[in-house]
Copies of this chain bind each other. A is one copy, B any other.
Amino acid sequence: MPNTHATDEADLRRCIDTLIAAIRAMDLEGIAALYAPDIVSFDIVPPLRHLGADAKRKNWADAFAEYRAPLDYDVRDLEIVAGDDIAFAYSFNRLSGTLKNGGAGAAWVRWTACFRKVDGRWRIAHDHVSVPLDMRDDRGLLDLEP
């Protein structure tokens, strides 16, 4: 009988809920604890690849520095596919709030997260964050709605 991985899916959902809560609270340590120490991230900012949980923590700190508290963070259309010790998830995510320059910052990004279970705990070992490009002028499409 195939393993339905219902427990793993519930654990992964809890892990992602913890991430959402930590982002809303601008809790950098809480965020970083969900990443594998050797995460390889294809983040929305350059360079092509960011190595390690410390690099991710810095990217979040840079993003938070643009906003006045409080922030909001939405995750929509989340799909989770779990195996025994490998899983992946993807969704549309949006960080929103008031920018320090006074504008309203909010864009939906596509998020893919690939997980490994180590010592019984799921951690994000790889992630990928982006928006599509308008091929006529190479501009990122930051105003698309899911």
Enumerate chain A interface residues (CB-CB to B < 8 A).
Answer: 40, 42-49, 77, 79, 81-88, 90, 92, 108, 110, 112, 114, 116, 125-126, 128, 130-135, 137-142, 144, 146
Q: A112-B114, A114-B114, A142-B138 are in contact. Are A45 and B88 (CB under 8 A)?
A: no
Residue of B nearest to A142 (CB): B138
Chain A at the B interface: SS class: strand
Residue of B nearest to A115 (CB): B88
A26 to B108, CA, bound (A): 32
Q: A44-B133, A81-B116 are in contact. Are A90 and B128 (CB under 8 A)?
A: yes
Contact between B131 and A133, CB atoms less than 8 A apart: yes
Contact between A90 and B45, CB atoms less than 8 A apart: no
A84 to B133, CA, bound (A): 35
Q: A86-B82, A88-B88, A141-B46 are in contact. Are A128 and B131 (CB under 8 A)?
A: no
